[in-house]
Structure 1
């Protein structure tokens, strides 16, 4: 039985258009209800799309408390608690657990290039600080370091390490994780939305899919088709993610995704500075993309 399964959404953190770009809790509630209503398997806050690296410790705690209370046990809430500092990661993890998080996503330290043994020690310390499950998060384009399958095989036996999200986009890397997870109580989750079908065929149990913030029905439908063995339907739905993916790279993460949600009527606001506000810049292209999906826009 998988601990992590289905479509988990790395939810954007809504901000207001005020001088502080403060968190918009009302918009968060609107997005949460949309996601739950579309049948997602979990909500993950403070991932890359959640701009964890641009939020203060206090904001992360306050927003975690709000989301957990709003979701109210209707589905699991996962919280990103990784940090450059082991102590900070442990402190955030303990606080998120105390607030009711169902599991944690922990990215490896970034900026500083550390050794494999230091990565293992980092995860040992964070795992020991809490009792709830932990998902390792591999995103080498942002951390500057790829978690090797060899390192993952050393971390996998830790009792509450229950999953790994791979956003490398490298299928061989994903295969290495699936092999490392074999025999351990550990799930492998696809973090590259263009490879959900391929990852599922290899043995991944789910996807943490940023595109599901907007085209939730498409991504949930894709996973349902994969599980039902509806090959042609899955092929069509996998391809149907591409019009959104094609436009996301035209701005820094998650500016285009947030503007798309905003034009679709969910006022998640801009990405936080230093990422530029895209208001107006790509609107025509975004609205054309929304039209493709039949999503009403303002």
Structure 2
């Protein structure tokens, strides 16, 4: 499997009662595939993985795998704090039929570099599908160093990293230390997609692609075609959407934008609440700007 291109970091649609909405997940899956995305990334930060039970995670993964029906690969987040817990869920996801696993670093009590390396190597040894590292220090309190990435890139079942640090120098370091390895570096910060590609990265796991898949794909397609204007304009076009993300806690604004586009993403899970009032009006105004 080729780890490259644009993989939407899918939201997890829910009903007004805060239950998983299987019909809306199917609708979102089909909608994204119709645009030509290269893969689907489920159960990440914007997918509210930290709010879901293990059974709900299985339901989400089963629904997306079934709806995708082999048209694109599906990557599912299985990260957690204990190595045992991650291996158990990873094996279940493999049996469901996901094509790759995204494993966020442990959080709350950050392990040291050696402990982190052993954590990832143990997971990769235990499953038969590729593992993608997930670095998001603002949420976990720790970061995967370039040295650790260099070690892990040599593991035959660790296929890449998604970096959401917002630190381009770190992304560049991941690219540099993994030269010669079969190791993909994905931008997880949507403002850095083009910059990552230009530095030798492989693509992006992009939250904005839930709402603007055509814009995000245009960054990648323009880059491949050496069309600087197309890729730069597409990259710049994401900013208005990204600016709304700070209005409320993740993924409230994003889910509302998806809903305004016609897919019933529903509310985020409590304690995060739906956008309303001035926040909602700002999101509506932003979406109207994309319709001009």
Q: What's 2:141 paired with? A: 144
TM-score, length basis structure 2? 0.98
Q: What's 2:34 paired with? A: 37
Query: By how many angstroms is 1:3 displaced?
Result: 2.6
**1:3 maps to 2:9:** no
Runs of 4 or more above 3 Å deviation: none
State the distance in 2 between where 1:274 and 1:25 align.
Answer: 22
Q: What's 2:268 paired with? A: 271
SS in 2 for 1:87: helix
State the distance in 2 between where 1:75 and 1:233 align.
Answer: 25
Q: What's 2:232 paired with? A: 235
Q: What's 1:71 paired with? A: 68
Q: What's 2:282 paired with? A: 285
State the distance in 1 between where 2:145 and 2:163 align.
Answer: 11
SS in 2 for 1:162: strand
Q: What's 2:218 paired with? A: 221
Deviates more, 1:82-91 or 1:260-269: 260-269
State the distance in 1 between where 2:59 and 2:228 align.
Answer: 43
Q: What's 2:108 paired with? A: 111
Q: Pick from 174, 179, 190: which aligns with 2:176?
A: 179
SS in 1 for 2:143: coil
Query: By how many angstroms is 1:280 displaced?
Result: 4.2
State the distance in 1 between where 2:71 and 2:278 align.
Answer: 37
State the distance in 2 between where 1:280 and 1:68 align.
Answer: 36
State the distance in 2 between where 1:188 and 1:52 align.
Answer: 22
| Partners of 1:11 and 1:43 within 8 A in 2 | yes
Query: By how many angstroms is 1:279 displaced?
Result: 3.8
Q: What's 2:52 paired with? A: 55
**1:92 maps to 2:89:** yes
Matched positions, count: 292
Q: Pick from 180, 186, 189: which aligns with 2:186?
A: 189
Q: What's 1:12 paired with? A: 11
CA root-mean-square deviation: 1.1
State the distance in 2 between where 1:110 and 1:135 align.
Answer: 17
Q: What's 1:23 paired with? A: 20
State the distance in 2 between where 1:285 and 1:190 align.
Answer: 27
| Partners of 2:26 and 2:63 within 8 A in 1 | no
TM-score, length basis structure 1? 0.96
SS in 2 for 1:135: strand
State the distance in 2 between where 1:24 and 1:165 align.
Answer: 27
